[in-house]
Amino acid sequence: MSVVVICLLFTSIFTNTDSLTNEQEKDRIKALPGQPEVAFSQFSGYVTVHKKHGRALFYWLTEAATHNPLENPLVLWLNGGPGCSSIAYGASEEIGPFRINETASSLYLNKYSWNKQANILFLESPAGVGFSYTNKSSDLRDSGDKRTARDALTFLKRWMSRFPQYRYRDFYLSGESYAGHYVPQLAKKIHDYNKNHSNPFINLKGFIVGNAVTDIKYDNIGTVAYWWSHSIISDSTYKSIMSSCKFTSAKYSQNCDDAINYAWNYEFGEIDQYSIYTPSCNKSSRNLTTNISSRVKNTLVRISGYDPCIENNAEKYYNRPDVQHAMHANSTGISYKWTACSGELLDNWKDSEFSMLPTYKKLIAAGYRIWMFSGDTDSVVPVTATRFSLSHLNLTVKTRWYPWYLNGQVGGWTEVYDGLTFATVRGAGHEVPLLQPQRGFLLFQSFLAGKNLPRS
């Protein structure tokens, strides 16, 4: 039976909610507390990825808000950290259909939700992030890149057994920050898995990542250059960091640490390093990631261009028992509160690839659609870091650097290479869809369509 016939078969079987399997029906979200009425279906729950250790990953699927979601692709979204929740950030602040109000009493619609174009699958990964859990506490102290990718592949295979209507569907990966590791690593896992199976059902077409951690050496050099070029640090501190920091390993000399700490403590000020031109939230701290060190210190940050403390809303909302019940979450009674990021995972991360560039080369050669984008006001994984890392792929330029437009205004700049598209998003920080939702939405539309960003 051909792939096309199989796809048509699944489409004919799963054309309405009456065709849901018992497993799917158990995962159906009837309505979230305070949720406005919507026409699309939602599902959430757990998929066990390691039975012996009791590792289970939590997902939330928001189907496409279109006439027939089975005609739309499936997109997996991953946030980074390592140790941060895709429910807290991707789903609730960036690309998900809902936003949480300030009192965490109700939800309101996101006008630029990505599920207007695709079925979006949010995954809290690895175990220990958000509602995802493990019954073996040592798993929280020895997580790393390799196991995260392995468990994510296991999740996808088992999730698609539960939701067979998504088998063979056009499938894309997406994410930001430390997902610059998660996404290409998982893409390679899927690629290798498909090569070794005669009838692969994970129909990976490509991936898109934003403000992505890519290469320790080149990211670091590009990050320090951003700090200096945006007047965050002094000439003397810039020279001190560049002369004392070699950036050839995850461990730095004492002189290097001293120079970086001086910049953080005496020159940065209380800005939001993830969005340097918006107000900061002085009531919360964040653990996303910074590519200037393998062990990130908490920093005072904002959360968005509208409400710098929006992350607090998610922590209130997802700790509500009625919300957890509606989402089939925390079914095992996790002994700790749901948090946006896990400090324990971050502090004990065991393996992190030095460079993702070799992985990119393999995936580019395999012909996948690959886009990278950068919000240009992020000082943590800044546009200069990504550009410097990409320059070492030595790709052939197909379409030279040009400004792209939305509503008559420059939305950013882009360059198309043989095998990869890079774009900046003007006025966006680390979380592009939060700071510039309409520009982020157009970026996503263009990626799915495989079209260059508009010149006018």
Active site residues: 177, 378, 430
| Strand order through the sheet with 170-176 | 42-50, 55-62, 119-124, 74-78, 170-176, 203-210, 369-375, 420-425, 409-417, 397-406
- In this structure, are residues 30 and 41 in contact, taking their beta carbons and an 8 Å threshold? no
At 409, give phi and psi (nearest 5°): -115, 150
Whole-Å CA distances, 234 to 260, 263, 297, 383: 12, 8, 21, 20
Q: Which tokens belong to 299?
A: 């920093």
Q: CB within 8 A of 336, min separation 6: which ones?
A: none
d(CA 435, CA 176) in angstroms, rounded, equals 14
H/E stretch holding 183 reads helix 179-195
d(CA 359, CA 355) in angstroms, rounded, equals 8
Residue 221: half-sphere exposure toward Cβ, Cα within 13 Å: 14
d(CA 94, CA 99) in angstroms, rounded, equals 9
- In this structure, are residues 272 and 278 in contact, taking their beta carbons and an 8 Å threshold? yes
Pairing of strands 420-425, 409-417: antiparallel
The shares of helix, strand and coil residues in the chain, as percent rounded to the nearest 5, are 35, 20, 40
The string of DSSP letters for 342-356 reads -HHHHHT-----SBS
Token pair 């996404």 in the structure block, residue:
183
Using DSSP, state whether 189 is helix, strand or coil: helix
Per-residue exposure over 177-199, b if at least 16 CB sit within 10 Å of its own CB, e if not: bbbbbbbbbbbbbbbeebeeeee
Using DSSP, state whether 120 is helix, strand or coil: strand
Q: CB within 8 A of 23, min separation 6: which ones?
A: 162
Q: If we measure between CA atoms, which residue out of 164, 161, 119, 121 comes closest to residue 14? A: 164
Pairing of strands 299-301, 281-286: antiparallel
403 burial via Cβ count (<10 Å: 0-12, 13-18, 19+): middle
d(CA 206, CA 447) in angstroms, rounded, equals 9
d(CA 166, CA 425) in angstroms, rounded, equals 31
